[in-house]
């Protein structure tokens, strides 16, 4: 076997080391899955083996789950042949079942993260020991890529911790830390680092039982099954809760619940076959295939630097200065320090700089209090941040990130002051979200080293960084910016210069279409409900409050000054201006479209005077109401997708992976679609253009598609076909 090594000790305990060659992390590749039956047969047939401990040979983790590219291509290889797809899917489930019925006690010594199929591997063991390492996570996150656990997770986890707890965990895709996993009943024992194998062997030597709980006669599911009074309530309420969370956009959620509901009523082996059937059904949906491509395959490629310029030597930023210690700058300083980068945090006053560092202090102490970081490590990280007003401390920085107000004059002054301290080859990055980089670079004496590095708030949670190329930005600056983003463990996309770039420009259309609906007389509650129904994380008015109304006001003011007579007011601009003049800035001061001084938040009563509700009552009930709501949902999605297509035609983006992943991670474009590029491709170019033309006739040119889409529709092309990444590289 290539992936498993077996060492049998004097007591007959076989230590099986899972170690996929050539990879930094174990995954369940096709080769691994093919070898598990061989491993099980060895365990069963070798009389010298009295028990088994399975651990990882990788320092980075036990197993990160299935290799989705490998797995999906294997299951879909039959071209629609369901029996072939089932047989491929059952290979893993059958192998795990064979392991737990091998007749010999099997323990998992979990010495690193175990996610997805990795955790399912351990659930097929009779005993689980995990090391008390704050970096270790245990979970079933498949729902995040449009799937659900298909290696026995829906059946074993449910039988371990009960229907309600299992459904909640799988539906949210959250992970446990070691002690939480023990508290939940997922693992049996938590030991100190390096002690898991010894503890697992001790369990076997002390008479570890080679039978799973669900194979014991008289086993009952914790909390009861579908026909138990308590269990029945879980399914009744769970159906409503999952519908509320997914709005019917994710087949995986419904199919997961079906697999649990049906599977717990039959013996485990039949339940595993039920799970496999629903898993295959889910995998064949366009939603799952879209999400796997964007959120797994494309993300992996971009996280490995797929768009980095060839031929530029690798750089490793050791010291980075952040200018501006507000919410954004403070967040950037925190993630840098967490990545081991010496950080200079500058603001106009020492008080402001110290306040910015305090943001990192608070986040890190929270990690310490939760056991996710030791105090010594926390002190070391905080020691990397120097809060100051002194620009002289910039000297020696590999990179400067400016994160001050969206004002050209302020940014120009900061650029000149910072560049005076920078050595040749150091990069200056602006964190602007809307102002064109080429224009900002006019204040630079080295525009080839000037680049946009756009973070998203809150920086510690948002995984995307948008890198913007100015007209004179060089490949070396781009490569260094990408190396920096990858070092702080964010996902980068690279776009060309434009007002609003890619993410801010396209995201603003979601807000503006919501404002258009408000001006048309639709209820603000309806607008936000419909927004969430599309799959966006929040409604357009809620998100406008989150972004800050006064920021929208300032951006509009700056854009008006820049464009002069060419400026076209945006939808609802006057409503926003009036609200800002009345001191309503959004969530940050508790007053926006909503009032936040009570929970739950409520729509601001004064909004009815600025935008009276005159529409919606005519929707009626039944099919007419559904059609009317679908029209609003379509408007919100198409408005964004059309703007994405315009960005493509204008050359702002040129890689479908970056377009899709940037939209999902950057502004929350409905993940079930796989991103706006995939949304257009899966709708079909002809159908998309026809619907956009219909919307244009009804609502105006904001829905007018660029000529590129019409040309592609005529040729029956797709973005991923015509602009495939490999064609770009060639």
Strand ranges for 9-50 from DSSP E: 13-18
Q: Which residues pair with 399 in a beta bridge?
A: 320, 427
Decide if 138 contacts 152 (C-beta within 8 A): no
Given 131, 342, 466, 643, the catalytic residue: 466
Helix (H, G, I), strand (E, B) or coil at 650: coil
Does a cis peptide bond (omega within 30 degrees of 0) precede residue 329?
A: no
> Considering only CA atoms, which of 415, 419, 423, 467 is closest in space to residue 442?
415
The H or E element spanning position 468 is strand 464-469
Record the tokens describing residue 590, joined without a space. 């508790």
Per-residue buried b or exposed e for 348-386, using 16+ beta carbons within 10 Å of the residue's own CB:
eeeebbeebbebbeebbeebbeeeebeeeebeebeebbb
In order of 266, 331, 534, the CA distances from 119 in angstroms are 23, 32, 32
Task: Report the distance separating Cα 414 and Cα 396, nearest Å.
Answer: 17
* Pairing relationship of beta strands 113-115 and 61-63 according to DSSP bridges: parallel
CB contact set of 264 (below 8 Å; sequence gap of 6+) = 155, 158, 159, 163, 221, 225, 226, 271
- Number of other CB atoms surrounding residue 621 within 10 Å: 7
Task: Report the distance separating Cα 299 and Cα 59, nearest Å.
Answer: 23
Residue given tokens 């295939």 in the structure block: 289
Cα Rg of the chain, angstroms: 27
Record the tokens describing residue 608, joined without a space. 């009815």
Task: Report the distance separating Cα 438 and Cα 661, nearest Å.
Answer: 25
Decide if 676 contacts 506 (C-beta within 8 A): yes
Task: Report the distance separating Cα 73 and Cα 382, nearest Å.
Answer: 45
466 in active site:
yes
> Considering only CA atoms, which of 415, 414, 455, 461 is closest in space to residue 431?
455
Does a cis peptide bond (omega within 30 degrees of 0) precede residue 356?
A: no
The CA-based diameter of the chain, rounded to the nearest angstrom, is: 87
Q: Which residues are the active-site residues? A: 466
């Amino acid at each position: 076997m290539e992936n498993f090594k077996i060492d049998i000790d004097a007591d007959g305990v076989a230590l099986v080391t899972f170690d996929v060659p050539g990879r930094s992390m174990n995954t369940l590749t096709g080769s691994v899955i093919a070898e598990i039956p061989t491993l099980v047969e060895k365990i069963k047939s070798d009389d010298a083996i009295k028990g088994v401990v399975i651990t990882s040979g990788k320092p980075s983790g036990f197993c990160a789950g299935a290799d989705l590219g490998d797995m999906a291509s294997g299951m879909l290889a039959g071209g629609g042949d369901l029996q072939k797809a089932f047989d491929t899917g059952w290979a893993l489930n059958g192998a795990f079942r064979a392991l737990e019925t091998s007749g010999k006690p099997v323990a998992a010594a979990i010495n690193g993260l175990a996610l997805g199929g990795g955790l399912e591997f351990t659930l097929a063991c009779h005993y689980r020991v995990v090391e008390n390492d704050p970096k270790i996570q245990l979970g079933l996150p498949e729902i995040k890529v449009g799937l659900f656990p298909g290696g026995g997770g829906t059946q074993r986890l449910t039988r371990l911790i009960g229907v309600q707890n299992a459904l909640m965990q799988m539906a949210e895709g959250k992970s446990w830390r070691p002690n939480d996993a023990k508290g939940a009943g997922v693992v049996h024992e938590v030991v100190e680092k390096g002690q898991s194998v010894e503890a697992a062997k001790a369990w076997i030597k002390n008479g570890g039982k080679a039978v799973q709980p669900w194979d014991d006669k008289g086993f009952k599911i914790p909390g009861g099954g579908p026909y138990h009074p308590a269990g029945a309530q879980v399914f009744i309420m769970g159906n409503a809760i999952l519908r509320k969370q997914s709005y019917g956009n994710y087949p995986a959620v419904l199919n997961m619940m079906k697999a649990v509901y049906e599977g717990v009523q039959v013996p485990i082996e039949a339940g595993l076959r039920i799970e496999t059937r629903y898993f295959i059904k889910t995998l064949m949906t366009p939603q799952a295939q879209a999400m796997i491509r964007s959120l797994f395959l494309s993300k992996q490629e971009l996280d490995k630097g797929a768009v980095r310029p060839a031929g530029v030597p690798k750089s490793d930023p050791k010291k980075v200065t952040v200018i501006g210690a507000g919410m954004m700058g403070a967040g950037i300083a925190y993630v840098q320090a967490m990545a081991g980068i010496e950080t200079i945090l500058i603001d106009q006053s020492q008080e402001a700089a110290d306040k910015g560092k305090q943001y990192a202090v608070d986040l890190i102490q929270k990690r310490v209090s939760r056991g996710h970081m030791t105090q010594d490590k926390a002190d070391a990280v905080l020691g990397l941040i120097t809060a100051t007003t002194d620009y002289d401390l910039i000297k020696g920085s590999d990179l400067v990130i400016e994160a001050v107000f969206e004002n050209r004059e302020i940014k120009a002054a900061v650029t000149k002051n910072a560049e005076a301290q920078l050595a040749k080859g150091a990069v200056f990055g602006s964190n602007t979200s809307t102002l064109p980089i080429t224009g900002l670079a006019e204040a630079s004496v080295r525009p080839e080293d000037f680049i946009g590095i756009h973070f998203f708030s809150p920086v510690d949670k948002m995984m995307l960084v948008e890198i913007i190329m100015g007209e004179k930005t060089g490949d070396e600056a781009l490569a260094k910016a990408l190396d920096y983003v990858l070092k702080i463990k964010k996902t980068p996309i690279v776009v060309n210069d434009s007002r609003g770039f890619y993410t801010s420009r396209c995201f603003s259309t979601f807000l503006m279409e919501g404002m258009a609906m408000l001006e048309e007389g639709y209820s603000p509650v309806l607008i936000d409900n419909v927004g969430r129904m599309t799959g966006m994380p929040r409604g357009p008015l809620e998100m406008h409050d989150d972004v800050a109304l006064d920021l929208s006001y300032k951006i509009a003011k700056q854009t008006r000054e820049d464009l002069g007579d060419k400026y076209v007011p945006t939808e609802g601009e006057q409503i926003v201006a009036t609200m800002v003049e009345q001191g309503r800035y959004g969530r940050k001061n508790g007053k926006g479209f909503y009032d936040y001084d009570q929970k739950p938040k409520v729509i601001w009563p004064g909004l009815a005077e600025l935008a009276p509700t005159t529409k919606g009552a005519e929707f009626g009930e039944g099919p007419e109401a559904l059609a009317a709501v679908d029209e609003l949902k379509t408007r919100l999605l198409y408005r964004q997708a059309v703007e994405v297509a315009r960005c493509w035609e204008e050359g702002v983006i040129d890689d479908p992976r970056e377009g899709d992943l940037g939209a999902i991670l950057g502004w929350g474009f409905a993940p079930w679609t796989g991103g706006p590029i995939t949304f257009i491709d899966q709708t079909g170019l002809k159908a998309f253009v026809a619907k956009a033309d219909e919307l244009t006739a009804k609502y105006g040119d904001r829905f007018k598609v660029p000529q590129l889409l019409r040309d592609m529709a005529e040729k029956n092309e797709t973005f991923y076909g015509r602009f495939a990444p490999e064609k770009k590289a060639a």
